[in-house]
Amino acid sequence: MLIAQNLQQYYGGSHILRDVSLRVQPGRITVLLGRNGVGKTTLLKSLMGLVPVKSGEVRLQGQDITRAKPFERARAGIGYVPQGREIFGRLTVAENLALGLATRPAGTPIPPELFELFPVLQQMLQRRGGDLSGGQQQQLAIARALAAGPRLLILDEPTEGIQPNIIQDIGRVIRRLAERGLAANGGQPMAVLLCEQYYDFAEELADDYLVLERGAVISAGSRSEMVSRGVRQLVSI
């Protein structure tokens, strides 16, 4: 689905991503782990085209998207849930969801399935985004990213500042998306790339993992290897 190879990225003179390669596959959840400031958000932004890579290659379903703009990547099938949610506080829930449809033809309705995944949003359609709780805003941010029917979903720390019962709900939705995708996409398994600080949540959901340290991948593999390779210790502070 998504293959990134040998990515190098700099902010000014600082070398932030060092030769990062990864692969995210349909039906699988790949978790991206690492301590604060190691470059996780920069990697996700690079995959979404929000920051340019200096060198390396990104392919989505075989298509070279290394230099594609973010909206072109969205149109090609990537949904992105940014760190901190970035909900528009003065717009309603319905308007925030409609923004997720910006890459679709005018008049495309909000897929009703989103309200099956996140029933609370249906009750709050006319409320302003800024009036929602943190957990509700996170659900809205995920629903907005799903509105256009992505094949790959990228999430940057969706559990940050959220209460445990909503974290569990979000985990169930992510697993369901990996297994069955969206009905609007024919129920095709979705590929998921999840950046996560909360180790237990990450290990529970992971099919595959990678750990970044100072911009480089220092460990990668499948979930069954996470314990034997001491991944928890690699990311603990």
Ligand X SMILES: Nc1ncnc2c1ncn2[C@@H]1O[C@H](COP(=O)(O)OP(=O)(O)OP(=O)(O)O)[C@@H](O)[C@H]1O
Binding flag, residue 158, ligand X (CB under 6 A): no
Measure the N-to-C terminal CA separation of the chain; round to a whole number of Å: 33
Are the CB atoms for 214 and 38 separated by under 8 Å?
A: yes
Binding flag, residue 16, ligand X (CB under 6 A): yes
Rounded Cα–Cα distance for residues 177 and 170 (Å): 11
Closest distance between ligand X and the C-beta of residue 172, in Å? 24
Token couple for 78:
């990537």
Partners of 11 in the β-ladder: 14
76 versus 234: smaller Cβ distance to ligand X: 234
Closest distance between ligand X and the C-beta of residue 175, in Å? 23
Q: Which stretch binds ligand X (CB under 6 A): 36-44, 69-77, 203-211, 228-236?
A: 36-44
Looking at 6, 11, 69, 163, which residue binds ligand X (CB under 6 A)? Answer: 11
Rounded Cα–Cα distance for residues 102 and 140 (Å): 16
Binding flag, residue 36, ligand X (CB under 6 A): yes
16 versus 155: smaller Cβ distance to ligand X: 16
41 versus 103: smaller Cβ distance to ligand X: 41
Are the CB atoms for 2 and 23 separated by under 8 Å?
A: yes
Looking at 7, 9, 30, 42, which residue binds ligand X (CB under 6 A)? Answer: 42
Binding flag, residue 38, ligand X (CB under 6 A): yes
Binding flag, residue 84, ligand X (CB under 6 A): no
Q: Concatenated DSSP letters for 131-168? A: GS-HHHHHHHHHHHHHTT--SEEEEE-TTTT--HHHHH
Looking at 20, 30, 40, 159, which residue binds ligand X (CB under 6 A)? Answer: 40
Binding flag, residue 30, ligand X (CB under 6 A): no
Q: Is 204 left (phi over 0), alpha (psi -120 to 50) or beta?
A: alpha
> By the criterion CB under 6 A, which residues form the site for ligand X?
11, 16, 34, 36-42, 83
